[in-house]
A and B are shown apart, each in its own frame.
Chain A
Amino acid sequence: MTNHYIDFRNADVILNMGSNVAENHPVSFKWIQAAKDKGALFIHVDPRFTRTSTKADIFVRLRSGTDIAFLGGMIKYLIDNNMYDEFYVKNYTNASFIVNPKYGFNDGLFSGYDSTKRSYDKSTWALEKDEQGIPKRDMTLQDPRCVFQLLKNHYSRYALDKVSQITGTPTADLEKVYKAYGSTYAPDKAGTVLYAMGWTQHTVGVQNIRTMAIIQDLLGNMGIAGGGINALRGESNVQGSTDAGLLYHIWPAYLPTPRSPWATLADYNKNNTPVSKDPRSVNWWKNRPKYVASFLKSMFGEKATKENDFGYAWMPKLEPGQDASWLNLFDEMYKGAFTGFFAWGMNPACSSAHAGKVRQALTKLDWMVNVNVFDSETGSFWKGPGMNPKKIKTEVFQLPCAAFLEKEGSISNSGRWMQWRYKAANPPGVALPDGDIIYELFKKVRALYEKDKGTLPEPILNLKWDYETGGHFDIHKVAKEINGYDLTTGKLMANFVGLKDDGTTSCGNWLYSASYTEAGNMAARRKKTDPTGLGLYPEWSWCWPLNRRIIYNRASVDLDGKPRDPKRPLLKWDAEGKKWIGDVPDNAVPPMGTTGAYPFIMKPDGVSSLFGPGLNDGPFPEHYEPLECPIEKNLMSGQRINPAIKVFEGGLDAFATCDPKYPFVCSTYRVTEHWQTGVLTRWLPWLIEAEPQMFCEISIELAKLRGIKNGDRVIVQTQRGKLEAVAIVTFRLKPFNVAGQTIHQIGIPWHFGWLHPKDGGESANLLTPTVGDPNTMIPESKAFMANVSKLTKQPAQPAKKTTKS
């Protein structure tokens, strides 16, 4: 999130699209209600009418997988009707920048496409620079090669009728949303967007969000109170784990994982440190070498010296172009690439797309360690449906771990707040906190290396591993290491501004520097002071970076530092005191004026990107159909699917498009009562009582077509697998009219699994395809093709006749 949950209350218009906020983030609805109480308009756009929709002032349906068409239509509408914030667009975005003349777009393909590699050479997507290396601009926005004109031209194709044919949304509904949300283009109006997996889990996931980012830029809604792009995270600490480098492609705090050609630290820094010759661009990432050196000092302590590149050589490297994300990882496991696997706090046998393939992959292992609070379909995969335990070689070790109330530590929520939590009870039996398990495990690994001299011992033997007090793991020592030290004084860093690239500072995660200082543990603060009155609560917990509650907040002021929205002054420049008042400013430099620093300091050009040359599938978002879709032709171009996606072929991977055997669009989703695969919630009697079994929601029309009654047991099937579910026949789903064709949408939750309860049903991910977004590889679980049919042998239980759900 650029903003915070509490900040929803500052919005005039809230757009919830690609998520179901009332059901999946129920507590956050408090702040939507607070906004509504002040007269805010709440819009929900979703294929399905949900508990969220009941509270919406405007509810509009779209076919799953057509968000870019929907939002692309909004971009056109805003430009056509002059509903954009001209000052903001000119000054704070790259609208005026001139694009390379070789850039082009034709029939769904951007310039530089290589169909054999299914990838782009992005060199023509560049911005033009002058002799000094400063981007060329046309502040009148009239140059045909300026970003604004290219944007206008690109989305001129997204006319209401065309969009309606693709999305299945009536044109009147489209206009209703465009007009309502577009009203926030006025500087004193704020519009915020809340999204989640409904946007990300598509083969165009990143571009879904990019399209909205473009809209927020056009409306001047970034960096302001009541605005921003707000990802509602699916787990309490998913923000924190991403910040901490959980994913393969990043080290902590978004430092790229090194690739093998970058043999030295100098190579790494050269390839990963953006350069700007524009004196007005702060280009904060120019500091990357300081954060890298400090991170390596944190990893290897005294063993990291200037002479040995601070141990850079000991860090694992990816091959060029290697994508080691989830889908590839399990594809490799399926092919037998691994001997061992730690399934730590996860349940891939149910959570992974194409879970049937994952379950087979687990049989290829020699050993697996399953760390969790309860047993799961992963820990017990070897005795699951279709498995013969006698024929499975995988040796499984089950390690019980402490639940969240049974350990101390921090959690970072969606709003980037790092909040300290205390232990409330001891874990049962021999269960230990995850930190203790990892800490002890590594000590054993190191002892084995010392004894047996394993391959490449240096990283193992040289790792700094001294986070204990009195022989026990000490979470505070880890928190301090994350904050970092001035190694010349031994004192905790005050913040990351003082970090150096010469080995005199250490820092486990530069974004978290200032969270645990000599003044104490900032994440443990619980003061409810609210000096701005906007609900920033600067002394409640701690927020990265630097306790800045709303990032890019200098975009909320005019060139002189005056708030553009006098009702919600997030920041203002005190000319006499020469300081900013309000939130922690996004860089303390004076107001931009006509020669000062631009507000988007993390972008190399200092402004927000309407034209985004960095992604793998294009600088402007473009509508493509999901890999499995119900229509033969993309109405927008000759490219039916995203040209840059990786298509997994052969083996268990199979796909069906426009196949009469699988005629319905299916989405997986969550309910309030369960969490993820249900590995925690299915064992809780009150929650399983409220949502006891796998269901499939279908429309009245589809039920008639298939002879299904409410409460009937049905089979839901895709090219990959099938499962049983109870039909919920509901008015809340409706067929779509897509280019004259009737398209039915069905939906299933992914919280169930065979292990418990016995009559709960199987995982929805037995049905989902192995395919991901070309930038993130997040799987396409929101739009794939399925069939639903009545199970001929119905159980004896009575089913209600009325439609009441």
Chain B
Amino acid sequence: MADKSFFIDTTKCTACRGCQIACKQWNKNPGTKTLQQGNHQNPADLSASTFKLVRFNEVEVPGGEPQWFFFPDQCRHCMSPPCKEVADEKAKGAIIHDEKTGAVIFNPKVKIKPGDFKEVREACPYDIPRISGAGIMAKCTMCFDRINEGMLPACVKTCPTGAMNFGDRKEILEKANKRLEEVKGTYKDAMLANTDDVRVIFLIVDDPKKYHKFAVADNTIGITRKMALKRLFQPLTSLRHMIG
């Protein structure tokens, strides 16, 4: 199986949340108790029961119509997953990096201590890892069981508009770059987020912070925050890869 990747085209996302629900259905994750808190985003955050979450963020445009950003958040399945780097030291075997697909998998059979988990979570530039009450880490599995059978991930399969895409990395990159070219005329700030570093490539067309605090990684990706401090004076590779 070839190296896999997602392309998430936010210009096509209508926030129908089909992906969020399909993810729960396939992974047999429960619906959690939520309340309406003045926000259509629900549940409020990712959790050990929510691997995929459509984030809603409304931005005022003085004198004009508001902007409403939708961000179908999930694990980016990094090329060099920093979470694994930490976990390998703290809880061996808790995180597996599948060589064939590139999927980063949290092993449900390996428990992790809360303090160690905190480090794993902090290592993630996208703030993805979550932990269950039983000490098991959880997040998007790339629908590993589905893709090994030649099926699309549940979120991609259910997406009606073409916002969610999945396939061989080479083709996904081509698709992402082609779409970027298409939308550049309409959106001057269009960019692909961290293309070289992740297997889940978001196309966003405005300031990333308007979508989500952790939409795009800053240049610490690939290393933990502690390691970043150590390397502070070393030359940095520009990892915030922006095209356009």
Interface residues, chain A, with chain B CB atoms under 8 Å away: 22-23, 26-30, 33, 49, 51-55, 59, 671-673, 684-695, 710-712, 726-732, 759, 797-800, 803-805
CB distance from B16 to the nearest CB of A (A): 4
A804 and B57 in contact (CB under 8 A), knowing A30-B162, A59-B65?
yes
Question: Which residues does chain B contribute within 8 Å of A732, judged by CB atoms?
Answer: 58, 66, 68
Which stretch, B39-47, B133-141, B190-198, B232-240, touches the partner chain A?
B39-47
CB of A51 within 8 A of CB of B68, answer yes
Partner of B160, one of A26, A687, A711, A805: A26
Q: Is B21 an interface residue (CB 8 A)?
A: yes
Partner of A730, one of B15, B25, B31, B58: B58
Question: Which residues does chain B contribute within 8 Å of A29, judged by CB atoms?
Answer: 14, 16, 160-161
Contacts A23-B14, A731-B59 given; 17 further ones with Cβ under 8 A? A29-B160, A30-B160, A49-B68, A53-B68, A672-B16, A672-B17, A689-B34, A690-B17, A691-B36, A692-B34, A695-B38, A711-B37, A726-B35, A728-B40, A800-B37, A800-B38, A805-B38
28 intermolecular pairs with C-beta atoms under 8 Å apart: A26-B16, A29-B14, A30-B160, A33-B161, A49-B66, A53-B65, A54-B67, A672-B16, A685-B31, A686-B20, A686-B24, A689-B31, A690-B43, A692-B36, A693-B35, A712-B38, A726-B35, A728-B36, A728-B40, A730-B58, A731-B60, A732-B68, A799-B38, A800-B39, A804-B57, A805-B38, A805-B40, A805-B56
CB distance from A116 to the nearest CB of B (A): 47
CB of B16 within 8 A of CB of A54, answer no
CB distance from A306 to the nearest CB of B (A): 53
Partner of A686, one of B16, B31, B41, B60: B31
Q: How far is it, in angstroms, between the C-alpha of A729 and the C-alpha of B37 when the chains are bound?
A: 10
1/0 per position for B126-162, CB-CB distance to A under 8 A? Answer: 0000000000000000000000000000000000111
1/0 per position for B11-35, CB-CB distance to A under 8 A? Answer: 0101111101100110000111111
CB of B21 within 8 A of CB of A710, answer no
Interface residues, chain B, with chain A CB atoms under 8 Å away: 12, 14-18, 20-21, 24-25, 30-43, 56-61, 65-68, 70, 160-162
Question: Which residues does chain B contribute within 8 Å of A51, judged by CB atoms?
Answer: 14-16, 68, 70
Nearest B residue to A700 via CB reads B60
Question: Which residues does chain A contribute within 8 Å of B161, judged by CB atoms?
Answer: 29-30, 33
Q: How far is it, in angstroms, between the C-alpha of A673 and the C-alpha of B16 when the chains are bound?
A: 8
CB of B16 within 8 A of CB of A691, answer no
CB distance from A33 to the nearest CB of B (A): 5
CB of A694 within 8 A of CB of B36, answer yes
CB of B37 within 8 A of CB of A799, answer yes
CB distance from A695 to the nearest CB of B (A): 5
Q: How far is it, in angstroms, between the C-alpha of A804 and the C-alpha of B161 when the chains are bound?
A: 24
Question: Which residues does chain A contribute within 8 Å of B32, judged by CB atoms?
Answer: 689
Question: Which residues does chain A contribute within 8 Å of B61, judged by CB atoms?
Answer: 731
Q: How far is it, in angstroms, between the C-alpha of A686 and the C-alpha of B33 when the chains are bound?
A: 10
Nearest A residue to B53 via CB reads A690
Q: How far is it, in angstroms, between the C-alpha of A20 and the C-alpha of B17 when the chains are bound?
A: 15
CB of B21 within 8 A of CB of A690, answer yes
Question: Which residues does chain B contribute within 8 Å of A804, judged by CB atoms?
Answer: 38-39, 41, 56-58
Question: Which residues does chain B contribute within 8 Å of A726, judged by CB atoms?
Answer: 35-38
Q: How far is it, in angstroms, between the C-alpha of A8 and the C-alpha of B47 when the chains are bound?
A: 38
Question: Which residues does chain B contribute within 8 Å of A59, judged by CB atoms?
Answer: 65
Question: Which residues does chain A contribute within 8 Å of B43, judged by CB atoms?
Answer: 689-690
Nearest A residue to B24 via CB reads A686
A686 and B25 in contact (CB under 8 A), knowing A26-B16, A30-B160, A803-B58?
yes
CB distance from B235 to the nearest CB of A (A): 38
CB distance from A703 to the nearest CB of B (A): 10
Q: How far is it, in angstroms, between the C-alpha of A636 and the C-alpha of B163 when the chains are bound?
A: 45
Nearest A residue to B162 via CB reads A33
Nearest B residue to A30 via CB reads B160
CB of A691 within 8 A of CB of B42, answer yes
Partner of A27, one of B31, B66, B160: B160
CB of B38 within 8 A of CB of A729, answer yes
Question: Which residues does chain A contribute within 8 Å of B39, judged by CB atoms?
Answer: 710-711, 728, 800, 804-805
Nearest B residue to A56 via CB reads B65
Question: Which residues does chain A contribute within 8 Å of B67, judged by CB atoms?
Answer: 54
Q: How far is it, in angstroms, between the C-alpha of A671 and the C-alpha of B15 when the chains are bound?
A: 11
Question: Which residues does chain B contribute within 8 Å of A711, judged by CB atoms?
Answer: 36-39
Nearest B residue to A726 via CB reads B36
CB distance from B31 to the nearest CB of A (A): 3
CB of A691 within 8 A of CB of B40, answer yes
Partner of B38, one of A23, A27, A30, A728: A728
Question: Which residues does chain B contribute within 8 Å of A799, judged by CB atoms?
Answer: 37-38
CB distance from A558 to the nearest CB of B (A): 36
CB distance from A457 to the nearest CB of B (A): 51
Question: Which residues does chain B contribute within 8 Å of A49, judged by CB atoms?
Answer: 65-66, 68
Q: How far is it, in angstroms, between the C-alpha of A105 and the C-alpha of B35 when the chains are bound?
A: 53
Nearest A residue to B11 via CB reads A55
CB of B21 within 8 A of CB of A687, answer yes
Shortest beta-carbon contacts, A-B, top 9: A685-B31, A711-B38, A710-B38, A689-B31, A693-B36, A731-B66, A26-B16, A22-B14, A726-B36
CB of A55 within 8 A of CB of B37, answer no
Question: Which residues does chain B contribute within 8 Å of A691, judged by CB atoms?
Answer: 36, 40, 42
Nearest B residue to A673 via CB reads B17
CB of A55 within 8 A of CB of B58, answer no
Which of A33, A53, A688 has the most chain B CB atoms inside 10 A of its CB? A33
Nearest B residue to A26 via CB reads B16
CB of A54 within 8 A of CB of B38, answer no
CB of A805 within 8 A of CB of B58, answer yes
Which of A49, A691, A805 has the most chain B CB atoms inside 10 A of its CB? A805
CB distance from A4 to the nearest CB of B (A): 16
Nearest B residue to A36 via CB reads B12
Question: Which residues does chain B contribute within 8 Å of A23, judged by CB atoms?
Answer: 14, 16
Nearest A residue to B14 via CB reads A22
Question: Which residues does chain B contribute within 8 Å of A690, judged by CB atoms?
Answer: 17, 20-21, 34, 42-43
Question: Which residues does chain A contribute within 8 Å of B40, judged by CB atoms?
Answer: 671, 691, 728, 805
CB distance from A757 to the nearest CB of B (A): 9
Nearest B residue to A28 via CB reads B160
Q: How far is it, in angstroms, between the C-alpha of A152 and the C-alpha of B128 when the chains are bound?
A: 61
CB distance from B185 to the nearest CB of A (A): 11
Nearest A residue to B182 via CB reads A37
Question: Which residues does chain A contribute within 8 Å of B162, judged by CB atoms?
Answer: 30, 33
CB distance from B19 to the nearest CB of A (A): 11
Nearest A residue to B21 via CB reads A686
A688 and B31 in contact (CB under 8 A), knowing A29-B14, A51-B14, A732-B58?
yes
Q: How far is it, in angstroms, between the C-alpha of A49 and the C-alpha of B68 when the chains are bound?
A: 9
Which of A684, A687, A689 has the most chain B CB atoms inside 10 A of its CB? A689
CB of A803 within 8 A of CB of B38, answer yes
Q: How far is it, in angstroms, between the C-alpha of A692 and the C-alpha of B16 when the chains are bound?
A: 15
CB of A731 within 8 A of CB of B58, answer yes
Q: How far is it, in angstroms, between the C-alpha of A688 and the C-alpha of B67 when the chains are bound?
A: 26
CB of B21 within 8 A of CB of A727, answer no
Q: How far is it, in angstroms, between the C-alpha of A803 and the C-alpha of B40 when the chains are bound?
A: 11
Q: How far is it, in angstroms, between the C-alpha of A671 and the C-alpha of B16 when the chains are bound?
A: 9
Question: Which residues does chain A contribute within 8 Å of B37, judged by CB atoms?
Answer: 711, 726, 797-800
CB of A54 within 8 A of CB of B70, answer yes
CB distance from B59 to the nearest CB of A (A): 8
CB of A689 within 8 A of CB of B68, answer no
